[in-house]
Amino acid sequence: MSRRVYHRPIAIVDEPPTAAALVRANAALPLCGGPAAFTAVEVIERSDGGRRTQVASVCNVDVDLAPLTAARAALRLPGGKDLTFDRPLLMGIVNVTPDSFSDGGQFIDSERAIAHGCRLIAEGADIIDIGGESTRPGASIVSVEEEQSRVLPVIKALAALGTPLSIDTRNAATMAAAVAAGAHIINDVSALSYDPASLATAAKLGAPVILMHALADPRTMQQNPTYDDVTLDIYDYLSARIAAAVAAGVPRSQLIIDPGIGFGKTVAHNLTLMRELSLFHGLGQPLLLGASRKSFIAKVTDADDIADRLPGSLSAALAGQRQGAQILRVHDVAATKRALKLAAAIAAKNTAP
């Protein structure tokens, strides 16, 4: 393995007045264009000997940190609408499946799925993510025909409401059919690697694409997942998938990355990824975090019942927001929106009246 160097922004200041003052004083750099800033970086050197780290002030780093500091460009959605990142966006989840880990079967009926999507939009969702194939651990493969019969009626109905929609699929044919039906974003848990036609299809469609990391197939991904270094391995994987997408003709400005919490990871892997999440800003793309109701929350908090995972889900969302995640994929939109609103109010009022 050749030597590689990574830079993770740390000592993040998420109080906008303080962050802005530190940037003006050249004591900090804006994180992804602000309003948060970071005053130090963890410099990680990776070689055959493993990982070596040191911490350096941003004033003492002589490398280009533009991927960490540059504002994320707006995504151009089909139809000409832009999706901007001036605040964390909430992606609400609609699983039109009988077997999803969190709400399997609740919204398999199109009318109920549409009603749920409408409810999430009313609660403040910025994006609605619609999927017709469960990718929970151990899930079986669904035919493309069955997948489309589940999602297309929901997409067509919700498209009329104007909120951006994403299609959660690994299948190129479903990507094309969903965009034709009104979807705006492709969300592929395989990072356009499952279907040989998906790279060319994504390039032709021109829609933004979420590239997510998953270890192997959902049927087998939780069978002893192993990494040399979970964060750096996934960083390198996503870097390679970005390069593959760009080479296929997908504009880099249309790519979003997702480290894939829970997809072929142990509890320890997930906690490490949450702790080191800011490293992924080094890829220069908008960052999506999908930790809502995942099983690691249950194992850490002793919340076996799905209904008891809300506190952990909110904690994970706030942890992602503090590290600059641009999109939070959540089941509980209203609760997450309230948590973020309070966090923003606290951060904005950092001095006594």
Buried b (16+ CB within 10 A) or exposed e, 70-105: eebbebbbbeeeebebeebbbbbbbbbbeebbbbbe
* Cβ-based neighbour number of residue 215 at 10 Å: 21
Question: Which residue matches tokens 């894939």?
Answer: 260
156 given a catalytic annotation: no
349 given a catalytic annotation: no
**Candidate list 136, 241, 294, 309, residue with the active-site label:** 294
Residue 168 exposure: Cα atoms within 13 Å on the Cβ side: 25
Q: Phi/psi of residue 219, each to 5°? A: -65, -25
Buried b (16+ CB within 10 A) or exposed e, 235-252: bebbbebbeebeeeebee
Rounded CA-CA distance 31/315 in Å is: 21
Structure tokens at 140: 């079986």
Q: By the 8 A CB rule, do 168 and 155 touch?
A: no
Structure tokens at 234: 């996934």
**Candidate list 329, 337, 338, 341, residue with the active-site label:** 329
Catalytic (active-site) positions: 294, 329
